[in-house]
Amino acid sequence: MIRLSKLTDYAIVVLSEMARQVGTVHTVAHLADRSGVPAPTVAKLMKAMTPAGLTTSQRGAAGGYALSRPADAISIAEIITALDGPIALTACVDGADSQCGVEQLCPMRGGWEKVNRAIRSALEEVTLADMMAPVTFPAPAAAPNSTAAQPARPAH
């Protein structure tokens, strides 16, 4: 299966935790505590998110991190890109060494681009808000039709 790094998974948990209170600063300790993700890992996450422009940081005593935009303006693609680099389905994309041993490989590189574009746009259309809002079970009284769609899969 195509693996999404676990870090990205955590990032979404942490970011959505922050999304609860936009504009508030959250310390690493605070976020770790409320998300269940170990603190050093949260720190690592944020160190990637901030340069990428997804969060803003405030140093010093009353410092911390805050989302730089509302959750519905942050796409999953951005989060993945911030952590795992450019979204692409191949091993040799970053133009590192031109020789990939298996020469016949390269003639068909062009085909991957088509695939990559499709995936990229798919990922750009899903926002952080989409990830938290729709399937939260706030109360037992669910929407009428949602009963048929979701419960098929056991939680995750």
Partner DNA sequence: AGCAATCAGGACTAAATTGGTCCTGTATTC
Partner DNA sequence: GAATACAGGACCAATTTAGTCCTGATTGCT
Interface with DNA, residue 63, by CB under 7 A: yes
Stretch that binds DNA, among 25-33, 69-77, 119-127, 136-144 (CB under 7 A): 25-33
Contact flags string 112-141 toward DNA, x per CB under 7 A: ------------------------------
Residue 69's binding partner among its own copies, DNA, none (Cβ under 5 to 8 angstroms by kind) is none
Residue 138: CB minimum distance to DNA, A:
26
Interface with DNA, residue 41, by CB under 7 A: yes
Interface with DNA, residue 53, by CB under 7 A: no
Interface with DNA, residue 60, by CB under 7 A: yes
Distance of CA 155 to the CA centre of its chain: 20
Q: Are 90 and 112 in contact (CB under 8 A)?
A: yes
Stretch that binds DNA, among 38-46, 122-130, 133-141, 142-150 (CB under 7 A): 38-46
Provide the binding-site residues for its own copies, judged by CB under 8 A. Answer: 1-4, 6, 9-10, 12-13, 16-17, 34-37, 76, 80, 84-93, 95, 98-115, 118-119, 122-123, 125-126, 130-132, 134-137, 150, 153-156
CA-CA distances (angstroms) from residue 124 to 20, 88, 117?
21, 13, 10
For 82-104, b/e burial (b = at least 16 CB within 10 A) is: bbbeebbeeebeeeeeeeeeeee
Q: Closest by alpha carbon to 25, among 76, 74, 79, 61?
A: 61
- For the purposes of burial, counting CB atoms within 10 Å of the CB of 129, is it exposed (0-12), middle (13-18) or buried (19 or more)? middle
Q: Is the Cβ of residue 136 or residue 145 nearer to its own copies in the bound state?
A: 136
Strands (E), 17-92: 55-58, 64-67
